[in-house]
Amino acid sequence: MHVLGISAYYHDSAACLVRDGKIVAAAEEERFSRKKHDNGFPRHAVDFVLREAGIGPKEVDVVGFYDKPVLKFTRILETFLAVAPRGLAAWMHFAPAWMRERLWVADNVRREMGGYAGPVLFAEHHESHAASAFFPSPFERAAVLTMDGVGEWATSSVGIGEGNDVRILKELRFPHSLGLLYSAFTYWLGFRVNSGEYKVMGLAPYGEPKYEKLILDNLIELADDGSFRMNLEYFGYVSGLRMTSPKFDALFGRPRRAEESPLEQFHMDVARSIQAVTEEVMLRMARFAQKETGAKDLCLAGGVALNCVGNGRILRDGPFERIWIQPAAGDAGGALGVALTLWHRCFGNPRTPDPRDSMQGGYLGPGFTDDAVAAMLDAEGAPHETVSWEELPGRVADLIAAGNVIGWVQGRAEFGPRALGARSILGDPRSREMQSRMNLAIKFRESFRPFAPSVLEEKVGEWFDIDRASPYMLLVATVAEKTRLAPAPEDAALVGIDRLKSRRSVIPAVTHVDMSARIQTVSKETNPRYWELLRAFEAKTGCPVLINTSFNVRGEPMVNAPIDALRCFRRTGMDYLVLGRRILAKSAQPALREDEKVGALAMD
């Protein structure tokens, strides 16, 4: 039986194909369209997952959509009517898209999937999130916590997953939303909503939580169970197109920061303050979930579950023995969630948890063949060297240890926003200059943003203060005491972003200013080639850690096909590109053509 799950029309559209309960393939539309956070119907992603399954549209038994458009439209209409006429401009902005496509999902599915005539079924938004968190998890029974901006009405939910069923027990409703609260600060700090939240999280360690009490006293009323009410006088998203209101500006004594303008210590302190409030809400919600369910394990999904600092706080200070986070925790994961909801809940099929999990390491996207890479490189006139699979790890480890930055493309692409060693840019974490070089000359992004370490799963406890695997880069922990370095006397005078220049550990390029790191553990079972590379680097240097960041430049999606990687490589300061077992040196490549120079400094 083939079940196709689809998410679309808001951000990060995606498709997932489940065959007899097993995830065959899943991918975001942006990877094919090359439009970041693409929210259109995922026609390319649908085509891909069907090809991967070896079927056509007529062989799909049922299509599931990740939320209920009519219910969501009702919420939007009721909200605008409640504030009319103030919401007229916003209504005129949103209404055409609803009238044109968002209310006609079933018709759109059948039109886009020529030949499909089966049923189109709908799950609620947070039901899809909860299913994406629990069903692929390694747990037989677990509490389920979902947190995001807003679905139909729900903005957060607490549920219980057991066997082949997930039930929502409690929910927080719009307009009171942890995701929208964090996005409001993202907007006010001069970053883009739905893409800049990572920047706020990365900026926070440079500041102090000076405004935490101001937020709790004025912006939200927080209860012991994690529920809260927002003071809507300070926010504009209910009745307008702005996230914050003039009263918000007055509370903090200044207007919204202009995009790309200098960051001051004030902005860092505000970022740290909203991060502290968010962590406290997440922790209280998690404690309430445990109290309600009595479960010893927790599953997380929804966009807020990508806040890996908050996840680390739940793991460290919360009541659960284990937590598992859906790697595609945002809307893209809803496609997977609705497909598994139909398979297990609607059709009553049993579930047998995988001891690791059933996400296959997250490598659910498109792959490529060696012959296809060779043909593409020849057609592009790209000089390259072909090495054996046995020789590859040692050769690349030598290049990284010599200070080179490597574009690394292997196997099937990742599903979700994190690069996990399939579409990655790699570097030496021991280099003091590597973070700034990779941020400014290769990623074309802000210098303050930290990079994540990939570490051999079996060595993680030796290098970081964590006692478990973190395969999806969704947990933050501090670097181990033995790796830390005493601050140099001249470092005492460093403040703000200049603190980045301080050498904090023996792996400074992946150690944030607060000694934290967003960790990815690499398993021989799920990614043997990347594991072999880490082993080879450890054999050469004694360090089983590499810098791992997504293979893209600012404003573009992660690369998908090998041709995407070649084009990105040509336009950046990467030194080498590794496509399967073929190695390309930047120094050997022809000069950029004029058409390739366009977009070389892509911005959000």
* Beta-bridge mates of residue 550: 424
* Separation of alpha carbons 225 and 167, rounded Å: 19
Q: Count the neighbouring beta carbons within 10 Å of the beta carbon of residue 564.
A: 21
Q: How many whole angstroms separate alpha carbon 131 and alpha carbon 133?
A: 5
Q: What are phi and psi of 457, to 5 degrees?
A: -55, -40
pLDDT at residue 503, as a whole number: 80
Instruction: Give the pLDDT confidence score for residue 127 in this predicted structure.
Output: 98
Taking the C-alpha atoms of residue 57 and residue 174, their distance in angstroms, rounded to an integer, is: 36
Identify the three-state secondary structure at position 260.
coil
Instruction: Extract the tokens encoding 125.
Output: 């938004």
Q: DSSP secondary structure string, 343-358?
A: IIIIS-------SS-S
Say what the pLDDT of residue 598 is. 47
Q: If you write DSSP's letter for every residue of 28-60 in order, what string do you get?
A: ETHHHH--TT--S--HHHHHHHHHHHT--GGG-
Q: What residues contact 162, with CB distance under 8 A and at least 6 apart?
A: 140, 141
Residue 204 in contact with residue 309, Cβ under 8 Å?
yes
Greatest Cα-to-Cα distance within the chain, rounded to the nearest angstrom: 71
Where are any strands of DSSP class E within 108-148? Answer: 120-122, 141-147
Strand order in the sheet with 423-427: 385-386, 582-585, 576-579, 406-409, 423-427, 545-550, 452-456, 516-522, 475-478
Q: Helix or strand or coil: residue 413?
A: coil
Q: Is 490 left (phi over 0), alpha (psi -120 to 50) or beta?
A: alpha
Q: Which helix (H) or strand (E) holds 272?
A: helix 265-293
pLDDT at 444: 76
Nearest to 449 by CA among 244, 184, 195, 187: 195
Amino acid identity for residue 135 in this structure: F
Cite the DSSP H helix spans in 402-517. 434-437, 460-463
Residue 395 tokens, joined: 């050769």
Domains, in order of start, for the chain: 2-137+330-361 (3.30.420.40), 370-597 (3.90.870.20)
Under-50 pLDDT residues of the chain: 598-604
The number of residues making up the chain comes to: 604
**E strands present in 349-474:** 385-386, 406-409, 423-427, 452-456
Euclidean distance between CA atoms 163 and 141, whole angstroms: 7
Tokens of 33: 């369209």
For the stretch 295-353, pLDDT in tens is 999 999 999 999 999 999 999 999 999 999 999 999 999 999 999 999 999 999 999 99
Q: What is the DSSP string of 159-226?
A: EEEETTEEEEEEEEETT--HHHHHHHHHHHTT--TTTSHHHHHHHGGGS--TTHHHHHHHTEEE-TTS
Strand order in the sheet with 322-325: 165-173, 154-162, 141-147, 297-301, 322-325
Number of Cβ atoms within 10 Å of the Cβ of 603: 12
Structure tokens belonging to residue 106? 């079933």
Q: Is the model's pTM score more than 0.85?
A: yes
Q: Are residues 408 and 424 in contact, defined by beta-carbon separation less than 8 angstroms?
A: yes
